[in-house]
Amino acid sequence: MITIKKMTTKKEMKQFVTFPFSLYKNHKYWVPPIIKDEIDNFDPTKNPVFENADAQFFVALRGGKIVGRVIAIINWFEVEKQQIKKMRFGWFDVIDDIEVSKALLNKVKEVGQENKLEYIEGPIGFNNLDKTGVLVEGFDHIGTMITWYNHPYYKEHLEQLGFVKEKEYLENKFKFKNVDGVYFDRVSNIIKRRFKLKALDFTKTKDIMPYVDEMFEVFSASYSKLSSFVPISDAQIAFFKKKYISFINPEYIKFVVDENNKLVAFAIVMPSFSEALQKANGKLFPFGIFHLLKARKHSKDVTFYLIGVHPDYQNKGVHAIIFDQYTKTFAPLGIENCIRTPELEDNEAIKKLWENFDPVTHKRRRTYRKSIQ
């Protein structure tokens, strides 16, 4: 018999967070989160996303043992301001038993019904900065710290339960050697002269911080037309600064400004922390932090986390300035592989951005949708 339990206490939230550690124990491709960071992420007193969102945490139990989990999420800005009556679900993990999936997703449906929402979509997080999509291809590739990994049967469970594809995301990678440094140096100089632009490089995190708020203005302007877009609040930006910016190599963050020093484009790249997180196995101490710091300094793989160009400067070659910056930064470091985060399949602008690098699609993921009746 399967029972559903709502998790609320500190002890229960740790159980919620650590369930995948047993589900994916010793798995070659699953990348575990840092347990404390994940618990803090779900704490309304620490994560400002809860100013505009509600979340309920559920586990499925059989014989007193956790066999599945899910978060039922309502982004109230999306529901009330954008008039999108969506019930979100995320952090969905289950054993290979469709009855477990059914019980958990029925609970999500109940929450949606109680709040008079029209449909369910997932797996997705609270907003565009969170993980998204269930993996449907590419199970033999290691995950990243900013994507979910899952067993192949998740897709079958969702489809058997009447969920249909809502959005398709592609994950691509390319060899750094495919980036023509001479070409981008030449084009970058032309674009900078033509539009009176300047590239900003950094060696200290403190020098980046004054630009982060403006970076999110460009982020919102460049991503607002995407079907998945939900605005990011000032408090969430401050949270992002604290959680991510301080840990990313400053030389991996690139900005482009106009003649008035106004930001027009940006990119954030991270070293790949996947193998380091596997070694840490959910704990920073005593040794996890050393694995992460080693990866920060020595990883030959990098992950393109965010990239954006203000609409006023799109289709003008401004991305060439960013790629020129990265070419000059990465070449001396011996960077080998560039990995991109999930991008909407129908995002033609982003496809054009990368087409010259001979990218290979190595993973596909999607969100699924079902009406609430």
- Mean pLDDT in residue range 197-208: 95
In this predicted structure, what is the pLDDT of residue 228? 65
In this predicted structure, what is the pLDDT of residue 98? 98
Residue 260 located in a structural domain:
yes
CA pseudo-torsion sign 241, 243, 246, 249: negative
Indicate the angle between helix axes 98-114 and 153-160, nearest 10 degrees: 50
Q: Residues of the chain with pLDDT > 90: what percent?
A: 86
d(CA 15, CA 66): 8
Q: Are 67 and 97 in contact (CB under 8 A)?
A: yes
Residue 231 located in a structural domain:
yes
pLDDT tens across 238-287, in order? 888 877 888 899 999 999 999 999 999 999 999 999 999 999 999 999 99
Q: Are residues 156 and 217 in the same domain?
A: no
* Residue carrying structure tokens 């979340």: 55
- Of 114, 139, 171, the position where a domain reaches its end is 171
Please tell me the pTM assigned to this model. Answer: 0.94
Residue 211 located in a structural domain:
yes
Q: Are residues 315 and 347 in the same domain?
A: yes
In this predicted structure, what is the pLDDT of residue 227? 63
Residue 372 located in a structural domain:
no
pLDDT tens across 153-202, in order? 999 999 999 999 999 999 999 999 999 999 999 999 999 999 999 999 99
Q: Are residues 232 and 309 in the same domain?
A: yes
d(CA 253, CA 244): 12
Domain hosting 71: range is: 2-171
pLDDT tens across 328-347, in order? 999 999 999 999 999 999 88
How many C-beta neighbours within 10 Å does residue 175 have?
14
With 0-12 / 13-18 / 19 or more C-beta atoms within 10 angstroms meaning exposed / middle / buried, residue 97 is: middle
Q: Would you place residue 353 in the very low, low, confident or very high pLDDT band (cuts 50, 70, 90)?
A: confident
Comparing C-alpha atoms, which of 87, 111, 119, 103 is closest to residue 157?
A: 103
d(CA 259, CA 15): 53
E strands, the chain, are 2-7, 53-62, 65-75, 86-94, 119-122, 134-137, 164-175, 198-200, 253-257, 263-271, 301-309, 337-340, 343-344, 360-371
Q: Are residues 202 and 349 in the same domain?
A: yes
